[in-house]
Amino acid sequence: MGARARTVVLIAGLALLAAVPPVAALTGQPFYLDLFRRIMIFAIAASSLNLILGYGGMISFGHAAYLGIGAYAVGILAHYGIYNGFLQWGLAIGAAALVALAIGAVSIRTSGVYFIMITLAFTQMLYYLGISIEEYGGDDGMRLAARSRFPGLVDLGDATAFYYLVFAILCLCLLLVHRLVNSRFGMVIQAAKSNEARTLAIGLSPYPYKLAAFVIAGAMCGVAGALLVNHTAYLTPEFMHWTRSGEILFTVTLGGMATTAGPLLGAAAFLLLEDLLSGWTVHWQIILGPFLVLVVLFARRGLAGLLRGGGRDG
């Protein structure tokens, strides 16, 4: 019952997203194209975190790192005049996966609060690295001279085409996470989350599985970073700022952890709320902060949790 309701919401949500460009064109509000493209990019990032947080129980407070790595991979190649999208995005995915492998190898050996602090600390390290490299703009970041080029396939300069490309990648990522968590691999991850000792006892070592999931999540978030830098057409170390990690973490929780629709719902709710509040007052964070506390205290199962049939807690 609950699962079916969530599937209906997911499909309805995707259908609504698909309908945004024509509606925005008809009503003459191109702003919404921009807003919803941003929402989908953050949904991809949140979905990748959901894989390790929601299903794997790994509280990574450093997911913005991969967003930044993906963005910098595209930006750095563009800086040297290489605009080929396959090269840029390939590097984004590869670099994000590699960094995730390094960070994961150290942090997954620990657990609990250590894991939170270490992922946060390493992301801060990358943030400071971004600030201190003057060649790539340092503190100010750099403009992207041109968007990634996929000659003959799709032109990212065309807002609608770019929108549908992001949409397609989002669908692909949601499907990938869904397939992964329902595979044998995903079962081991979830088993390790619910009881690491028993998982060991039935003869499965969780470490390589968790690390693999961590790397997949990092690579997927790297894609979101490549999309984000094309979306904003500039990049700064702020992409890797620790508050960004916190926002992605909150997005997953707000949407509902360990559900396919959760990250999308969370990203939509969070960014629409941000848009609404920031249009109302420049001091919108004074409302967002307590709102976040209230969500944690009273609505911890998130938006997707509202659709859950009573009883089973995931």
Partner 1 sequence: MNLVLVLEQLLNGLQFGVMLFLMAAGLTLVFGIMNLVNLAHGSLYMVGAYLAAAAYQWTGSFVLSVPLALAGTLAVGIVVELVALRSLYERDHLDQVLATFGLILFFNELIAIIWGRAAIYAALPGWLSGQVELLGVVRYPVYRALVILVGLAVAVALWIVVAHTRFGMLVRAGASNRTMVAALGVNIRLLYTVVFGFGAALAGLAGLMAGPIYAVQPGMGEGILIQVFVVIVIGGIGSIRGALAGALIVGMVDTLGRAFLKPMLATVFSPTAADSAGPALASMLIYMLMAAVLAVRPEGLFPARTG
Q: Does 205 bind partner 1 (CB under 8 A)?
A: no
Write the burial class of residue 64 (CB in 10 Å: 0-12 exposed, 13-18 middle, 19+ buried): buried
CB of 272 to partner 1, least distance (A): 18
Please give the residues from 61 up to 80 whose contact with partner 1 meets the rule CB under 8 A.
61
- Give the DSSP letter string of 79-92: HTT--BHHHHHHHH
Here's the x/- map for partner 1, 288-307, by CB under 8 A: it reads as xxxxxx-xxx--x-------
Q: Quick one: 17 or 192, whose CB is closer to partner 1?
A: 192
**DSSP H or E segment with residue 294:** helix 285-298
Q: Quick one: 112 or 311, whose CB is closer to partner 1?
A: 112
Let me know: does 63 contact 100? Beta carbons within 8 Å.
no
Q: Does 280 bind partner 1 (CB under 8 A)?
A: no
Q: Measuring CA to CA, how many Å separate 204 from each of 106, 227, 302, 311? A: 20, 36, 31, 29
Q: Does 108 bind partner 1 (CB under 8 A)?
A: no
Answer for which of 160, 178, 242, 314 binds partner 1 (CB under 8 A) is 242
- Measure the CA angle with vertex 237, ends 39 and 116; round to 5°: 75
Let me know: does 60 contact 119? Beta carbons within 8 Å.
yes
CB of 119 to partner 1, least distance (A): 10
Q: Which residues bind partner 1 (CB under 8 A)?
A: 53, 59, 61, 106, 109-110, 112-114, 116-118, 120-122, 124-125, 128-129, 131-135, 242-243, 246, 249-250, 253, 283-286, 288-293, 295-297, 300
